[in-house]
Amino acid sequence: MSSSVTKVVVVGGGASGMIAAIAARREGAEVTVLEKNQRVGKKLLVTGNGRCNLTNTDIDISHFHGLNPKFAFYALNRFDNYRAIEFFEKLGISHKVEEQGKVFPFSNQASSVLDVLRHEMESIGVKVIVEAETKGIKRNNRGFQITLKGGEAISADKVIIATGGKAAPNLGTTGSGYLLAQTFGHSLVEPFPALVQLKLNYPYLKQIKGIKFDGDAEIIVGNKTMARARGEILFTEYGISGPPIFQVSRSASEWIKKGKQVWLKVVIINHLSREEIISYTNKRFKDNPGKTVSFSFVGFINKQLIPVFLKQAGIADLNKRVSELSSAEKDGIISLLQDWRFEVEGTNTWSAAQTTAGGIDVKDIDPRTMQSKLVEGLYFGGEVMDIDGDCGGYNLQWAWSSGYLAGISAAKSAN
Q: What is the pLDDT along the chain (415 residues), one digit of tens a residue?
A: 345 899 999 999 999 999 999 999 999 999 999 999 999 999 999 999 899 999 999 999 999 999 999 999 999 999 999 999 999 999 999 999 999 999 999 999 999 999 999 999 999 999 999 999 999 999 999 899 999 999 999 999 999 999 999 999 988 889 999 999 999 999 999 999 999 999 999 999 999 999 999 999 999 999 999 999 999 999 999 999 999 999 999 999 999 999 999 999 999 999 999 999 999 999 999 999 999 999 999 999 999 999 999 999 999 899 999 999 999 999 999 999 999 999 999 999 999 999 999 999 999 999 999 999 999 999 999 999 999 999 999 999 999 999 999 999 999 865 4
Q: What is the pLDDT of residue 413?
A: 63
Contacts for 152 with CB less than 8 Å, ≥ 6 apart: 132
pTM, entire model:
0.93
Contacts for 412 with CB less than 8 Å, ≥ 6 apart: 27
Please give the Cα distance from 118 to 116 (Å, whole number): 5
Contacts for 352 with CB less than 8 Å, ≥ 6 apart: 193, 196, 197
Q: What is the pLDDT of residue 132?
A: 97
Please give the Cα distance from 387 to 69 (Å, whole number): 6
Please give the Cα distance from 162 to 273 (Å, whole number): 47
How many residues does the structure list for the chain?
Answer: 415
Contacts for 175 with CB less than 8 Å, ≥ 6 apart: 165, 166, 191
Please give the Cα distance from 392 to 412 (Å, whole number): 32
Report strand pairing: 224-235 vs 239-241: antiparallel
Q: What is the pLDDT of residue 1?
A: 39
CA-nearest of 385, 390, 415 to 403 is 385
Instruction: Catalogue all structural domains in the chain, each as residue range(s) with its CATH number.
Output: 7-192+357-412 (3.50.50.60), 197-347 (no CATH)
Q: What is the pLDDT of residue 415?
A: 45
- Residue 272 vs residues 107, 181, 318, 376: alpha-carbon distances, Å: 37, 51, 25, 58
Please give the Cα distance from 350 to 196 (Å, whole number): 8
- Residue 201 vs residues 210, 237, 240, 341, 344: alpha-carbon distances, Å: 17, 11, 11, 10, 6
Run of H or E including 110: helix 110-124
Run of H or E including 412: helix 394-412
**Is residue 62 within 8 Å of 135, Cβ to Cβ?**
no
Please give the Cα distance from 223 to 225 (Å, whole number): 7
Please give the Cα distance from 380 to 110 (Å, whole number): 24
**Is residue 158 within 8 Å of 21, Cβ to Cβ?**
no
